[in-house]
Structure 1
Amino acid sequence: MTQKKVTPVQIVEGNIPPSYEEANAGCPGYYGGGTFSWDDIHIRQIFIRKVYSILMIQLCTTLAVIVLFTFYAPMRIYIQSHPVLYSMSNLLFLVTYILLACCGDLRRQFPWNLILLTIFTLSMACMLGFISSFYNTKSVVLCIGITALVCLCVTIFSFQSKIDITSFQGLLFILCMVMFFCALVMGLVVPFGYVPWLHAVYASIGAVVFTMFLAFDTQLLMGNKQYTISPEEYVFATLSLYLDIVYLFTFLLDIFGYGRE
Structure 2
Amino acid sequence: MELDNGNGSDSRGPQPPPYNPYYYGQNPHAGKTYQVGKGDIPVVTPPGYYDNTVHSEGRAGDVDQHQFGQPAAANCCHGLEESVFADAAVRRGFIRKVYLTLMIQLLVTVGIICAFLYWDTLREWTRTNNWFTYTMMAAVMVLLVLLSCCDNIRRRVPLNFITMGVFTLAEGLMLGSITVFYSAEAVLWAVGATALVSFSLSVFAMQTKWDFTMASGSLWVFAWTLLSFALLCAILRSQFAYIAYACLGTLLFSLYLVFDTQRIVGGKHRKCEVSPEEYVFAALSLYLDIVVLFLFLLKLINLCR
TM-score, length of structure 2 as denominator length: 0.70
More RCO (CA 8 Å, sep 6+): 1
Give 2:105's match in structure 1, choosing from 38, 48, 58. 58
In the alignment, residue 208 of structure 2 is paired with which amino acid? S
Matches within 5 A, 1:117-136: 117-136=164-183
> Is contact 1:136-1:258 (8 Å) kept?
no
Among 134, 144, 148, the alignment partner of 1:97 is 144
**Residue 184 (str. 1) matches residue 231 (str. 2):** yes
Distance 2:83 2:207 in 1: 24
Alpha-carbon separation, structure 1, partners of 2:211 and 2:157: 32
| Matched position secondary structure for 1:162 | coil
1:236 is aligned to 281
Q: Map Cα deviations across residues 140-197 of structure 1 (whole Å, 9 max, x no partner).
A: 11111110000010010011111101012233123212202102212333xxxx3111
| Alignment of 1:249 onto 2:288 | no
CA drift at 1:258: 5.9
Q: Is 1:71–2:118 an aligned residue pair?
A: yes
- Superposed displacement of residue 35, structure 1: 9.4
Map of 1:88 onto structure 2: 135
Aligned Cα root-mean-square deviation (Å):
2.1
Q: Which amino acid aligns with 2:222?
A: L
* Secondary structure of the corresponding residue to residue 208 of structure 1: helix
How many residues are paired up?
224
For residues 267 and 303 of structure 2, the distance between their equivalents in structure 1, rounded to whole angstroms, comes to: 41
Residues 1:163 and 2:210 are matched in the alignment:
yes
Does 1:200 find its partner at 2:204? no
Unaligned regions of 5+ residues in structure 1, if any? Answer: 1-31
Rounded Cα–Cα distance in structure 1 between residues aligned with 2:110 and 2:300: 19
Greater helix percent: which structure?
A: 1
Which residue is 1:37 aligned to? 84
TM-score, normalised relative to structure 1: 0.81
Structure 1 stretch displaced more, 237-246 or 65-74 = 65-74
- Secondary structure of 2:185's counterpart equals helix
8 Å CA contact retained: 1:207, 1:251: yes
Contact 1:47 1:234 in 2 (8 A): yes
Question: Does structure 1 conserve the Cα–Cα contact (< 8 Å) formed by 2:213 and 2:267?
Answer: no
Partners of 2:279 and 2:83 lie apart in 1 by 13
Q: Which has the larger radius of gyration?
A: 2
Out of 199, 203, 211, the position equivalent to 2:254 is 211
CA offsets 1:97-118 (integer angstroms, 9 cap, x no match): 0100111222212222111111
How far apart, CA to CA, are the structure 2 residues paired with 1:181 and 1:87? 23
Per the TM alignment, residue 36 of structure 1 is displaced from its structure 2 partner at its CA by 7.0
Letter in 2 for 1:90: M
**Are the aligned partners of 2:91 and 2:265 in contact in 1 as well (CA < 8 Å)?**
yes
Task: Quote the sequence identity (%).
Answer: 38
Rounded to whole Å, the distance in 2 between the matches of 1:214 and 1:130 is 24
Residue in structure 1 matched with residue 220 of structure 2 by the alignment:
173
Residues in 2 aligned to 1:110 and 1:118: alpha-carbon distance in whole angstroms = 13
* Equivalent AA in structure 2 for residue 107 of structure 1: R
Tell me which residue corresponds to 1:24: none
